Amino acid sequence: MIDQPLNILMLEDMKTDAELVKRQVQKAVPQAVFTIARNRAEFFEKIEWAVPDLVLADYNLPDINGLEALLHIREKKKFLPFIFITGILNDEEKVAEAVLKGASGYVLKENLSTLPEKVLDVLQKTKEQQSKAQEEERRWREAELTLQKVQAKLTKTADFEGKAEIKQLLEEVLNAIMD
């Protein structure tokens, strides 16, 4: 169970389904705060100001599908967990496509009782991914700093055969790291 508040953006056009999802999520996250988007316009508006910690999305709505919503999220927020909650993702190709496009998981509406566990699992995996990404970023910054130090020492070193070539290679590596 997660005791701190969690901001959840839900893309769902059916009020009764939204209420059922809320009840299930609150079993894992009692202090969850929900923002509901019922259509395309509301989703694109609310994703900008809601600052969600998690997105729960139906797959088929009248004017938007879940993959479109997922792709929009992935363009802006790489690590934002995204779970489909739908009645129609029982097609293996659609499931595979959703996962390959970056969905964190899915739950069929007929199996909503599995949602609390899925939410906790997805949030834990997302936390681990973010930690790994931060560690990788830290290592890149350290490597960049080390290369800059080597480049500075090389500049101060007396001329020797191949010095210009080594400086050029260091500069290329630094430029590649900074891009």
Nearest CA-CA partner of 107 in 127, 123, 87, 125: 87
Residues in the chain where the model's pLDDT stays below 50: none
Q: Please name the amino acid found at residue 123.
A: L
What is the per-residue pLDDT across 13-40, written as a single tens digit (0 to 9) for each? 999 999 999 999 999 999 999 999 999 9
CB 55 within 8 A of CB 80: yes
In a domain, 1, yes or no: no
Same domain, 47 and 103: yes
17: CATH: 3.40.50.2300
- pLDDT, residue 91, reads 62
- For the chain, the domain total comes to 2
Same domain, 104 and 65: yes
Same domain, 32 and 84: yes
- pLDDT, residue 96, reads 66
Pairing of strands 60-61, 64-65: antiparallel
- pLDDT, residue 25, reads 97
Domain boundaries, position 167: 132-178
